[in-house]
Structure formats: C-alpha cells, structure tokens
Amino acid sequence: MSLRRPAKNQPEIFEFSSSSMEEANKIVSKYPKGKQQSAVMALLYIAQKQNDNWIPLVAMKCIAKFLDMPYIKVYEVATFYTMYNLSPVGKYFVQVCTTTPCMIRGANKLVEACKEKISDKENELSNDKSCSWMEVECLGACVNAPMMQINDDYYEDLDKEKTVEIFDKILKGEDPKPGSYRGRLNTEPENNRKTLMDEKNA
C-alpha cells in the first residue's frame, strides 16, 4: 500500500521515449477530440513501464500537460489504483500471490524465498536495486498455485527451490522462462487426464 504515495527521491526530468510516445499517441487517437483525458490511465501505465515499473511525479506532470488536464487529476488517478507504483520497485517487480488457494499450496514458502533472496521487507529494493517484491491479492491463476508475477509474466507451480532459482537468474540479469515450473502446458491436468469423459485417470 505504501507505493500509493510518491517517493521522497524524485527524478528531475521525465520524457516519453519515442516508442512510448508512439504508443501514447495511438491511445489518445482512440478518443474523440476534447475527450483525450480518458487516456490518462493507459498513459500512466506506459510511463510506468518505461520508467522501471514506477511513476515519478514528473511523469504525472508530463502526462497532465500532454493531455491538457490539471496535475491533481492525474495525481488522483495515480494514487487511486494499486497497480501504479509511485515509488521505485526495481527493474524486476515481483508480486507474490498469497490469497487462499496459493496460500494453501505453500505461498508462504515463496515469500520466504523473497525475503532471503531479494530483501527482508516488502517494497524494499534488493541490494543491487534491480528488484523488489510484494504480496498481492489473487492474480487469477489459482489452478497453477502457488504462483508469482514478475513484470508482465506469470511463474507458476512453484516451490521454494524453484523460486530461488528464478531469483538467482533475474539477479544475474537473465530472463527466466515464464509459465509452469512443473512442466505443464498452461493449466492442463497433471495426470494426463484430458477430458471429463476420460475415465482412466479419474
């Protein structure tokens, strides 16, 4: 929750990169003229992606000017939604699901791994400033519990060792493979049962 208040150390400047700008213009063009303010949420998300997963105040100002709306209105939106991070969270932003199904399947072990590998506390940057973690509510992948999200990708069917492995990789700057870590394809059943009609493995 603390990420919904702006960080103390703020960068001085923020500008959309050319690719973000292109994306932003594309979104703004979807709205009729004079209603471009509707694009504020999408633009905040673009800014967040560009800026290592967090939105500095200068970015909000930049968006407000871009959309011709008061600063406070952008600020209101940015502080309202939990998926906008207003403090640095690192290049790799780990969100561990700890809602009931994941919890039953051992999400607390994942949290332990986070504490060991990344930082003692939630929302605290790792030593090399590249990574932070937080507990979140259900990410909607209960079939593959326990799971976590790193940036845009889901890492599923985890246990402590596998989680540590993933963290080792990201701390080295590699991108681990997303998806199930028990070799499943998406959410397929694990014991080869493919349909309800299939009685063999019932």
Partner 1 sequence: MPKLKVNDIEVEVEDGLTVLQACEKAGAEIPRFCYHEKLSIAGNCRMCLVEMEKSPKPIASCAMPAAEGMNIKTNTPFVEKARKGVMEFLLANHPLDCPVCDQGGECDLQDQSMFYGVDKSRFKENKRAVPEKHMGPLIKTQMTRCIHCTRCVRFATEVAGVSELGAIGRGEDMQITTYLEQSMQSELSANVIDLCPVGALTSKPYVFEARPWELKKTETVDVMDAVGSNVRVDTYDWEVKRVLPLINEDINEEWISDKTRYACDGLSNQRLDTPFIKYNGKFEKASWSEVFKIIKSKFENSSKDKVCGFVGDLTNMETGYIFKEFFDRTLNNNNYDSRSDNRFLDNSERENYIFNSSINGIEDADLIFLIGANPRYEATILNARIRKAFVNNNTKVISLNDSGDLTYPYKNLDGQTQTIKTIFEGSEEISKEIISAIKPMIIIGESLLKLNSAEHLFNLIKNFLKKNNKFTEDWNPLNILSCDAATVGNFDLGILNSEKNLLEELKSNKFEIVYLVGQDNLEFNKKDEFVIYQGSHGDKGAEIADIILPGSAYTEQDGYFTNLEGKIQKAYKASYPPGEAKEDWQIINELAEVMNNRKLFNDKEELESSMFNYIKLQQEKQTTENKVQSISDFMNEKLNIQIKDYYFSNVIARSSKTMIECNNSKLNIKSTGTEG
75 binds partner 1 (CB under 8 A): yes
Residues 4-23 that bind partner 1 (CB under 8 A): 4-5
Nearer to partner 1, 14 or 167 (CB): 14
Beta bridge partners of 153: 150
The continuous run of DSSP H or E covering 71 comes out as helix 71-80
CB of 76 to partner 1, least distance (A): 5
**Alpha-carbon separation of residue 56 from 2, 28, 94, 124, 137 (angstroms):** 14, 21, 19, 17, 24
Rule CB under 8 A: which of 76-95 touch partner 1?
Answer: 76, 79-80
Minimum CB separation of residue 87 from partner 1 in Å reads 14
Q: Which is nearer to partner 1, 73 or 169 (CB)?
A: 73
Stretch that binds partner 1, among 64-72, 90-98, 128-136, 150-158 (CB under 8 A): 64-72
The SS3 call for residue 12 is: coil
CA distance 16 to 144: 36
Structure tokens at 21: 């700008």
Contact 100, 144 (CB under 8 A): no
Strands of the chain (E only): list them.
92-97, 131-136, 148-150, 153-156, 179-180
CB of 73 to partner 1, least distance (A): 6
Which residue in 15, 19, 25, 71 binds partner 1 (CB under 8 A)? 71
Q: Which residues contribute to the site for partner 1 (CB under 8 A)?
A: 1, 4-5, 57, 69-73, 75-76, 79-80
